[in-house]
Amino acid sequence: MGIFKKYFLKYKTPIIVGPIFKLLETATELIIPLLIAAMIDTGVANRDKNFILVYGAIVVGLNVVGIIAAIICQKLAARAAVGIGKDVRYDMYEHINTFSHSELDKFSTASINNRMTHDVDRVQTAISLFIRLVMRAPFLLIGSIIMAITIDWKLSLIFLVVAPLTVAAVFIIMKKTVPLYDKTQKNLDTVGNVTRENLQGARVIRAFNKQDDEEKRFDVATNNLKKSAINVVLVSTMLNPVTNIIINFAVIVVLWVGGYQVNAGTLTTGHIIAFINYLAQISAALVAIANLSISFIKAINCGKRIQEVFDTKPSIVEPDNIEISRKFDGVTSEYAVEYQNVSFKYDGAEKPAFANLSIKVKKGETIGVIGGTGSGKSSVCYMIPRFYDVTSGTVKVDGVDVKDYSLKDLRTRIGIVPQKAVLFTGSLRDNMRWRKGDATDEEIMEAIKIAQAEEFVSELENGLSSRVQAGGKNFSGGQRQRLTIARALVGKPEILIMDDSASALDFATDYKLRKAIRENTDNMTVFIISQRVNTIRNADQIIVLDKGKIVGLGKHEELLENCDVYKEIYTSQTK
């Protein structure tokens, strides 16, 4: 929980001042029962209206002071809690954006969402309760006991029985709720994951008539969450009834014993009423402490999950000496990319995605990467922008190890077209400016033309100002792919990586796209990952992967003669 220290220090003023005002409110609550006792024993007993009016005015005044103090404390608590929540969320989001693909693979999207929303909300609630109750509850508890002793120390001995019983009840209930809260959080993550998969894969689910199966899977996940949540509620809600039972028995004893003392003349009726009021305040204080403790338990569990995100350090970081970071302002090597005996293995995987890859790619060359599913095609190209770091060997861009570049400089030079065509909410123009923020409409339209998207973009009523729905759902799959290709081409990157990004295009459009890229991009080095032989057959070099191994490297004709895997793929697609 050490990560939260800096946030507490930032809001130390409301965290310190808030409890002081709450202390003032509590002081008024402790004084009022004595004033009411005096009004009963003196004003009412002697029928002294002036005494009742004066003391009544004092009680009202103290209530007003208490209300004002409570409002100020509430405002300070909200400012600190909400401010800390905002800062934690922002820093979490910023930290997550530093993760490489390796770190993102460790957390599910639903889990990260829950940590940034639900878990931070729990921490916010605990901070707010801390400011409002950390001084009030103990002071009210101790103060009420002291005031009760001043009334009658013998009668106050009942607290020696009430306090241990209440504390024991609180401790037992808290001990049982801790593991239940943790289990509930994990079940909530599971529900989030299932919901996300169902929403994203709705078309696939309907296509295979799997609605019933998915409903059952969702039902199991929600039932598990329901059971764990009910168990938490059943245990935690026992707190108030148990403490109330203990206090009510104490009130009965006070009335029984106090009644004899009133008859004996050693206590007054006002004292008994004040004593019961203090007993009620002690009960409220104990319950408040218990609720505060439960809130802290929830917050600690959530804080650990938040801490886990912050403790996950990105495996890919900027070079220690940023001065050696290269700028892309001139040719320094004849090779755009060099792989020197490169191997890579995913975290937790038993076998490498690929091993011992050595290849030199000249500027302006087109490299095709082909192989079966899971053969490591994407992994080969993702070494270039450092989405992952090599396990061994070296990847160089423009003659320099990619680890010696700043990530911004390195990725500014590279255009990426991912497997999944993703567009973002906003205008089409905004989406096209992701690589180059100041790109003109002429530059954007040039890229759209190369990507074979001009035909449907020109038919849009608002052109580049047309709105894009979340995920680009208002475009077809092929249109989204062409737009993501255009986005990568804006600003004319020196290296273009197309990760199976033409799978939704027909062969004619695919051919026109490759031809346009070849003819309209000046000296651009292109990596094409594809399952189609026709897409990469004209590449200057083709890398053939099979089960994580490089089984072929060369031109199309060469591979047909000496690479059985490539020949098998070619034959399966042409005959």
Contact assessment for residue 289 and residue 243, using Cβ atoms and an 8 Å cutoff: no
Which of these, 558, 573, 412, lies nearest to 494 by C-alpha position? 412
Q: Tell me the residue type at 233.
A: V
pLDDT at res. 328: 46
For tokens 């024991």, what's the residue? 168
Listing DSSP states for 457-470 in one string gives HTTSTTGGG-EE-G
Per-residue pLDDT of the chain (575 residues; tens, 9 = 90+): 567 888 888 888 988 898 888 888 888 877 887 777 778 777 776 777 888 888 888 888 988 998 998 899 889 988 999 999 999 999 998 888 888 777 777 777 777 888 888 888 888 888 888 888 877 778 877 777 777 777 777 777 777 777 788 778 777 777 777 677 777 777 877 887 788 777 767 767 777 777 788 888 888 888 888 888 888 777 777 777 777 787 778 778 777 777 777 777 677 777 777 777 777 777 777 777 777 777 787 788 788 888 888 888 887 777 665 544 444 455 467 888 998 988 888 777 777 777 888 888 888 888 888 887 766 788 888 889 888 888 888 999 888 888 888 888 888 888 888 888 888 888 999 989 988 888 888 999 998 898 888 888 888 888 888 888 877 888 888 888 889 889 988 888 889 998 877 776 777 888 888 888 888 777 888 998 888 888 888 888 898 888 767 888 888 888 888 888 888 888 888 76
Number of helices (H), then strands (E), in the chain = 22, 12
* Domains of the chain from N-terminus onward: 2-311 (1.20.1560.10), 333-574 (3.40.50.300)
CA distances from 402 to 364, 367, 387, 388 (A): 19, 19, 11, 11
What backbone phi and psi angles, to 5 degrees, belong to 66?
Answer: -65, -40
Tokens read off for 254 = 């006070």
Beta-bridge partner residues of 394: 340
Classified as helix, coil or strand, 340 is: strand
pLDDT at res. 331: 47
Contact assessment for residue 302 and residue 123, using Cβ atoms and an 8 Å cutoff: yes
pLDDT 10s digits, 50-63 = 888 888 888 889 88
Element (H, E) at 483: helix 477-489
CA distances from 182 to 111, 203, 239 (A): 13, 34, 19
Q: From CA 495, how far away is CA 526, in angstroms rounded? A: 6
Task: Give the distance between the most distant pair of CA atoms in the chain.
Answer: 118
What backbone phi and psi angles, to 5 degrees, belong to 313?
Answer: -90, 140
Tokens read off for 271 = 């004292």
Query: Taking the model in full, what pTM does it have?
Result: 0.67
Which of these, 352, 350, 379, lies nearest to 497 by C-alpha position? 379
Contact assessment for residue 513 and residue 528, using Cβ atoms and an 8 Å cutoff: no
Contact assessment for residue 169 and residue 243, using Cβ atoms and an 8 Å cutoff: yes
For tokens 């990596």, what's the residue? 527
Burial of 52 (0-12, 13-18, 19+ CB in 10 A): middle
For tokens 């460790």, what's the residue? 106
Contact assessment for residue 336 and residue 416, using Cβ atoms and an 8 Å cutoff: no
Q: How many CA atoms lie within 13 A of 465 on its CB side?
A: 2
**Beta strand residue intervals within 312-446, DSSP E:** 335-344, 354-362, 366-371, 392-397, 400-401, 414-417, 426-427
Q: From CA 236, how far away is CA 234, in angstroms rounded? A: 6
